[in-house]
Amino acid sequence: MHRRIAIGGFQHETNTFCPLPTVWQDFQTPGAWPGQTNGKAIFETFAGANIPLAGFIDAAAPECDLVPLLWTAAEPAGYVTREAFDRISGEIVLGIAEAGPLDAVYLDLHGAMVTEDHDDGEAELLRRIRAVVGPDLPIAVSLDLHGNLSRAFFERASCVSIYRTYPHLDMAETGARAYRLLSELLERGEPFARAWRQVDYLIPITAQSTMHVPGDRLYAMLPGLEGEGVSSIDIAMGFPPADTPDTGASIFAYGADPKAVDGAVQAMLDALHEAEPAFFDPLIPAREAVCEAMRLSEGATRPVVIADPQDNPGAGGMGDSTGLLRALLDEGVEGAALSMLWDPQTACAAHAAGQGAEIAVSLGGFHPDSGGAAIETSVRVEALSDGTFPFTGPMYGGSTARVGPSACLKIIHDRADIRVVVGSIRCQNADQAMFSAFGIIPASQRILAIKSAVHFLGDYAPIAERVLFAKAPGANPCPIDEIAYTRLRPGIRLGPGGRVFAR
């Protein structure tokens, strides 16, 4: 007989330093992902998408009766409001309560949700579900690589699978792994032996990529630690811009043999300690990054890419920070393009003026305290878009961008030759379509300025002469020792080799 599994997803990565609260409407509005999708529409909306739920569905559908609940995600920002969390988790819990007899629940969660009331939103969601289904029903969870998880979460989830790539290229694959682990649990008929440990230092987000040392080496160890008695072991690297007692990396393992499971987690913890000095934060001041990019671009045939990680909307930056653009202008750079500056007002003005018009604008700078002042300048409107276009890169490919009314603007300047893409809905630039949809061919630019921390590497590293990481103002602070923590757990170290946090 087919097993009945209720499936759903509720994703948010909460940057508690971001000034913008995350409200219910943010979970309804499509952005990099579709807005809230309910019931059977899930099957059609996510078919072929690189998200965990889609991978889970593909793996499970031939063998199971799936009961679709809802799936929703909001662009990373500040605390999830009580209203948003209660309403969406309430719908999930009600859906499970009304689903009839179930063999299991699968949830596609992020792992770094912080709400106005709860430091660990995922742990609270599981508490509410357990209140309905009891302590024994298997609940399988897949997580983003950036989760900040608590012991309460670990105890309430029956098994956990986590992305193994950053940029996250394996999201759908992680959903499929979550299904295989859940199947094994259901076959087994009793809970897994399990182990969990938190790592005692914070890892800067810009040092977490699995395309570089030491992330590549650490993640490559995981399959080797699985095997006899160990069904699964995964690492969450943590999401540093969140001021909670459980911020930081943690390791999860499940299997049949308690000793082997514990040994695998300990081996991974030891490896993370050994790797500590190798986690290197690559940020250099924006002005220096621009000068270095100009030097490197002399005679280069490929663009030099400058990332702006501290204003990455994919981690709770606003996307309106002007620091890197200011540095490009001040240095009089020729042949640069920046995407995407979040500026609904300028996008609207560009649409009103029309293609080819020259207009005076005030670019970005809505949060001058965290992101720098607006840039007053004149621009020529080179391209206009409704902001709906297909992503084409390895991470988001198969999904549709929805950045709202948007435009390519050429800044009118006596020395610099710079184009800026402005959009109305905050969106990280992790895909070349964020330029090409506006008529800019990324590979033919001298310098590409990109609002992203690491995800952009998936699509841009293959075309880049070099990649630099600029330190410009923004609401996604990257150097750990510059983050104004007050609530971390005592004893954790502020970055690799960093000082010990004390309240």
How is residue 16 written in tokens?
Answer: 């508690």
SS3 assignment, position 84:
helix
Binding mask 118-157 for Zn ion (x = CB under 5 A): --------------------------x-x-----------
| Closest separation in Å from C-beta 202 to Zn ion | 15
CB of 31 to Zn ion, least distance (A): 15
- Of the pair 255, 316, the CB lying nearest Zn ion is at 316
Smallest gap, in angstroms, from Cβ of residue 366 to Zn ion? 25
Q: Choose between 50 and 231: whose C-beta lies nearer to Zn ion.
A: 50
Collect all residues with Cβ–Cβ distance below 8 Å to 352 and sequence separation of at least 6.
none
Select 119 or 144, whichever has its Cβ closest to Zn ion: 144
Which of 402, 432, 460, 430 lies closest to 314 in space, CA to CA? 430
CB of 146 to Zn ion, least distance (A): 4
- Considering the complex, state which of residue 146 and residue 493 has its C-beta at the smaller distance from Zn ion: 146
Q: Which of 110/194 has CB closer to Zn ion?
A: 110
Minimal distance in Å, beta carbon 107 to Zn ion? 16
Compare residues 15 and 232 and give the one whose CB is closer to Zn ion: 15
Q: Which of 192/396 has CB closer to Zn ion? A: 396
The smaller minimum CB distance to Zn ion, of residues 146 and 419, is found at 146
164 vs 287, which CB is nearer to Zn ion? 164
Cβ 84 to Zn ion shortest distance, Å: 20
Dist. CA 384–CA 338, nearest whole Å: 16
Tell me the Cα Rg of the chain. Answer: 23
Least separation in angstroms between CB 351 and Zn ion: 32
d(CA 196, CA 111): 15
List binders of Zn ion among 241-260 (CB under 5 A): none
Q: How far apart are CA 385 and CA 27, in angstroms?
A: 23
Q: Are strands 466-471 and 304-307 parallel, antiparallel or unpaired?
A: parallel
Which residue in 6, 13, 88 sits closest to 53, CA to CA? 6
CB count within 10 Å of CB 345 equals 15
CA 305 to CA 180: how far, in whole Å?
A: 39
**Binding footprint of Zn ion, residue count (CB under 5 A):** 2
Q: 323-330 and 286-297 are packed helices; what angle lies between their axes, rounded to 10 degrees? A: 50
Which position has the token pair 């005592």? 490
Residues 427/405, Cβ–Cβ less than 8 Å: no
Least distance CB 144 / Zn ion (angstroms): 4
Bridge partner residues of 385 (DSSP):
406
Single-letter amino acid code for the residue at 143: L
**Minimum distance between the CB of residue 54 and Zn ion, rounded to whole angstroms?**
17
- Determine if 459 is a binding residue for Zn ion (CB under 5 A): no
Helix (H/G/I), strand (E/B), else coil: 289: helix
Tokens for 497, please give them: 């080799």
Of 161 and 406, nearer to Zn ion (C-beta) is 161
Dihedral class, residue 30 (left if φ above 0, else alpha if ψ from -120 to 50, else beta): beta
**H-run or E-run covering 305:** strand 304-307
Give the C-alpha separation, 94 to 88, whole Å: 10
Nearest approach, Cβ of residue 121 and Zn ion (Å): 15
Give me the residue whose beta carbon is nearest to Zn ion.
Answer: 146
Contacting residues toward Zn ion, per CB under 5 A: 144, 146
